[in-house]
Amino acid sequence: MHIAIIGTGYVGLVSGACFSDFGHDVVCADKDGAKIDALRQGSVPIYEPGLEDLVRRNLGGRRLTFTTDVAAAVRGAEAIFIAVGTPSRRGDGHADLTHVFAAAAEIGEALTGPAVVVTKSTVPVGTGDEVERIIREVAPGIEVFVVSNPEFLREGAAIEDFKRPDRIVLGAEDERAVEVMREVYRPLYLNRAPLLFTSRRTAEVTKYAANAFLATKVTFINEIADLCEAVGADVQDVARGIGLDNRIGSKFLHAGPGYGGSCFPKDTIALLKTAQDYQAPLRIVEAVVQVNDSRKRAMGRKVIRALGKEPRAKWAAVLGLTFKPNTDDMRDAPSISIVQALQDAGVKVRAFDPEGMEQARPMMPGVDFCSSPYEAAEGTDAVVLVTEWDVLRALDLGRIARSMRSPVMVDLRNIYPPEEVEAAGLSWHGVGRSPRTVAGTD
């Protein structure tokens, strides 16, 4: 099939590379000429494991091309995906659909015959209706079928998620659109990927509901962690005890400093705004957003307490800055609030991250960025583990303790067993647990 994708951000680029790897002929269009030039050379502007190799392989196979000419990309395409950004709108938190509607208008202007247009961008309920209206207004007399096909990609595992999905949600109102989308995803049939066909509005709500539910699980276990600390229980054992229940499941039950990234923060807020517009309040999601926002600063205060009296002029090494491992995404990362809280208390900060430091620099003025975790820890009064990168999972704790001025570790991801940390000469502070609550310790 000939597929056009409008937008070469995270979702558009991953989708285009994977579709082309299935054997489809894919053209990705974007207004950013510098980005397109780089992509034509096989240079990927984001960090996602395996993506650059995938792009280069399909460029070489001539199944994947890049252009700034939207009309040329759309011409002759059997399926046209809109995969542009929908950031939170300044002032009210609604999803900003400016780019989605602009893409719809451009597609309409370029159409010469019937087309299936697919919204891959995360959009509020009813957006597909407006996309269809715009295209029909710009291209009267041309048959247009608009489908909602939300993405469920995890940053750091996007290619695996695309090629071996739990489900593919397709909101379509016409049988012709259904048949086209079956053909688009036909290469996945051998993997028995479940295609769930729904109404368009149902698909749009499904995306937001999924992210809101996962954000709720994260926030729930973080509050349980606070209770565990207060009563002397171990949140990791609690999470295992409830996660083994198949009705609950073990994923997204890892206590930490709160959720961040490009999806959960903006999608929960956009869902709340939609609920307000339709006078259908979502009290649970409201609480999730409020609790998560306050938790990030609370983690900063946790570090300040671990530093002891008079934290001003002390040094902290923050290890891991991105909102999760295997990405360079700093959007709404907990580290931003934690560093700000430390700096507000007069604590000087050094930092290390394997991939996110370039993005972090403009967000964290005054931070001393280092080339390794050991350099960051040297001469500091506390080491703070914020993101569970693999490179931070097997540190030489003894080396770190010996290099520090005051050997304190604040492990906000519970990566290390407390007894191992303390045996290395470090004072341990974790989340939702303490040395006396860990099985096998005195």
**For the structural domain made of 212-437, what CATH number should be given?**
3.40.50.720
Q: Give the residue carrying structure tokens 């040395």.
A: 435
In this prediction, residue 435 has a pLDDT band, given cuts at 50, 70 and 90, of low
Instruction: Determine the Cα–Cα distance for residues 321 and 338; give it in Å rounded to an integer.
Output: 10
DSSP category for residue 193: P
Mean pLDDT within 43-57: 96
Which sequence positions are flagged as catalytic? 263
Quick one: pLDDT at residue 89?
Answer: 86
pLDDT surpassing 90 at residue 434: no
- Domain spans, the chain: 2-198, 212-437
Domains 2-198 and 212-437 share a fold: yes
pLDDT digit string (tens) for 304-343?
999 998 999 899 999 999 999 999 999 999 999 999 999 9
What mean pLDDT is reported for the chain? 95
pLDDT surpassing 80 at residue 442: no
> Terminus-to-terminus CA distance in the chain, angstroms?
64
In this prediction, residue 441 has a pLDDT band, given cuts at 50, 70 and 90, of very low
What residues are paired with 65 via a beta bridge? 27
pLDDT surpassing 50 at residue 165: yes
For 109, the 3-state DSSP assignment is: helix
Q: According to DSSP H, which parts of 112-188 are helical?
A: 127-138, 158-163, 175-184
In this prediction, residue 262 has a pLDDT band, given cuts at 50, 70 and 90, of confident
What number of other Cβ atoms are within 10 A of residue 294's Cβ?
Answer: 11
**For the structural domain made of 2-198, what CATH number should be given?**
3.40.50.720
* Beta-carbon contacts of residue 290 (< 8 Å; ≥ 6 apart): none
Copy the structure tokens of residue 17. Answer: 């590379």
pLDDT surpassing 80 at residue 192: no
pLDDT digit string (tens) for 365-410?
999 999 999 999 999 999 999 999 999 999 999 999 999 999 999 9
Quick one: pLDDT at residue 436?
Answer: 57
Copy the structure tokens of residue 390. Answer: 């693999």
